[in-house]
Structure 1
Amino acid sequence: MTTQTRHVDHELVQAAAHVARSRCRGDNHTVAAAARARDGRIVTAVNAYHFTGGPCAELVLLGTAAAQGAYELDTVVAVGDRERGVVPPCGRCRQVLLDYFPALKVIVGTGDRLRAVSITDLLPESYIWADHQLDTEQTRRELQ
């Protein structure tokens, strides 16, 4: 990894695990996520599974955080139901998390090997959505 591993926020892992145990029931909700906002608050959410590709817990978390006025997130973790432990974000979530919070830390690993890493370490040499927006604006100006 290119970025040094950071301190693991165990309170955040416990918050996600609690939601996974108490709120994830059946096949519709199988993963819980928790994020620490820059102001110290913890925001939680669960996935909304659907055969059409319903949103992962991390994506639901982004909307939940915004609805609660937590626009700056520092660290995120996802935990599976049935005591599956920490679940790393899927590729789509990695890209979205990077686009929203390029300095975000993500807790990954298992058991006593949990670690907090930069989202950029999980998605090296990624597509930068903001660059696309700048290219689109530049092209629009050139065409005018």
Structure 2
Amino acid sequence: MKKSVLFLFGLILSMAVYAQTPPVKIVFDVTSGEEGVHQSAMRHISVMANQYPDSEFEMVVYSSALDMVLKDKSSVSKELEELAKKENVTFKVCQMSLDRYKLPTSSLIPGVGTVPDGILEIIKKQQEGWGYIKESK
């Protein structure tokens, strides 16, 4: 009987701590062309967006990572399109990178937006107090 009461008390205490977690804002930086990095980044943002629904998450994709957000090349297109529908998740791709590779915005997975400069977007987010996660190997 004692163990079950202690377990229940611990469960209630952990739920109270979780409920008091303040919302956060996190920007994810993805530049790798590696599919494994794309899949890992999607797992991270998915888990966090579901675990912390009052928080905001933005993934910024640029440089060699463009395949991640292209309809005909992405290994995570289904997951990305579904996550992009969530209120607390946004996906942005660098317009300069699209221009460099001569890719039209129509080649992007639905739900992916553009920003003029991916690096500048990340810097602005950090200036606004957003946390930063670099997704890499």
**TM-score, with length taken from structure 2:** 0.32
Higher RCO structure, 1 or 2 (CA under 8 Å, sep 6+):
2
Compare the two structures and name the one with the higher helix fraction. 2
Asked which structure has the greater CA Rg, the reply is: 2
